[in-house]
Each structure stands twice: as C-alpha cells, then as structure tokens.
Structure 1
Amino acid sequence: MAKVIDTVAQQLGISPERLEREAVELWLRRRLALVEAEIAEILAKYGVRSAEELEEYIRRGRVAEHPAWEDLIVLERLLEEKKKLSEALRF
C-alpha cells in the first residue's frame, strides 16, 4: 500500500504522510455521513429522536416489537460506530 501512496503523493507533489492523513480523514467523514443517514432513517421510521425513545415506544406498545427491536439493535450499533468515527476525526 505504501508504494501506491508514495507514487500518488509524488504525482500530486505532496508528502505521502499528508496524502495518507487526508485520505483517512476523507474516509472517516464519508463513513460518518453514511452512518448518520442510516441513524436518521431509523429514527424517522418510528418518529423518535433517540434510541431511548424508540425503546420506550416498544416497551409501551406504541410500535410493534417486530421489527422495532431489530431496528433498535441496529440503531445502537450505528450510534456506537458514530461515536468511534467522531472520536477518530479528532486526531
């Protein structure tokens, strides 16, 4: 991989370190945008603003347990991924 980075960096006239840093940052930002879109889609599907609110809706019977529980599991995973991506962007 380093050879590709070195070659492209040389062609662009920038350091390999800068190219690598900017490429990682771009990937993190794009992945974060995708994760945020998936989160928004699930929240909108149930008309809620948070995972906690969705869980409360399920427990009170305001939404059907299936597929809401599965969506809640996915939502919680996405929220954790969002947190990790956001932390990684602070480098």
Structure 2
Amino acid sequence: MTVNLGEISRRLGIPSEELMKKGILSFVAQEIRLAEWDIADIKERYGASSPRDLQSKIEGREIASHPAWEDLIHWENLENYISRLRAIEEDVKTAA
C-alpha cells in the first residue's frame, strides 16, 4: 500500500507539513511512552532506581546476574533511544 500524503492532507483539511509534523510527534511520543514503560518494569523487577543502581546490585550479588545484566543493557539502550527521540522531538517542534 502506498500512502499519498497529499491526498490524506486534502481529505483531512490539514496542510501536508502540519500533518507530517503531527505524525512524527505522535510517533515519537508513543515510542517514548513505550520505552518508559519498559524501564518502569525493569525498575520494579529489581527495585533499582537507575542503571547504576542495578549494576551495583548485580556486582554486590544482591540479585542474580542473569538475566539482570541483559536487563541492564536493555535499560541503558532504552535511555539512549529516549534521548535520541527527545532530540528528534525538539528538532521537529522548532522546525519552521
């Protein structure tokens, strides 16, 4: 299926640029929300407040290292992803 932005824009009565901008912002917001939910699950699972806290718990043998190491890596990747999404969000919001 090919999406025709111009046709959708016309049917909704919204300029193409505005439609694209709103679509990107909506996508970014949803991705941030999903990543934050994943992080909240990890925090709850291990009772950790930050990746550093989780790492300390693993190294101190307060929790089993498997799958905690994988969750730690996932948490750090999610934080990186959220940072990139927020940068995109800011770029889109400030675009002329």
CA RMSD of aligned residues (A): 1.5
Report how far residue 4 of structure 1 moved: 1.4
Report how far residue 32 of structure 1 moved: 0.5
Aligned residues: 91
Is there any run of 5+ residues in structure 2 with no aligned partner, and where?
92-96
Is there any run of 5+ residues in structure 1 with no aligned partner, and where?
none
Report how far residue 72 of structure 1 moved: 0.6
Report how far residue 5 of structure 1 moved: 0.9
SS at match of 1:90: helix
Correspondence 1:47-58 to 2 at 5 A = 47-58=47-58
Cα 1:74/1:3, change in 2 over 3 Å: closer
SS at match of 1:61: coil
Cα 1:47/1:40, change in 2 over 3 Å: same
CA distance in 1, matches of 2:6, 2:77: 35
Q: Which runs of 4+ in 1 moved over 6 A?
A: none
* Offset from partner CA, 1:13-47 (integer Å, 9 cap, x none): 11111100100000000011000000110111000
CA distance in 2, matches of 1:80, 1:34: 14
Report how far residue 3 of structure 1 moved: 5.7
Query: TM-score normalized by structure 1?
Result: 0.94
Query: TM-score normalized by structure 2?
Result: 0.89
Identical-residue share of aligned pairs (%)? 31
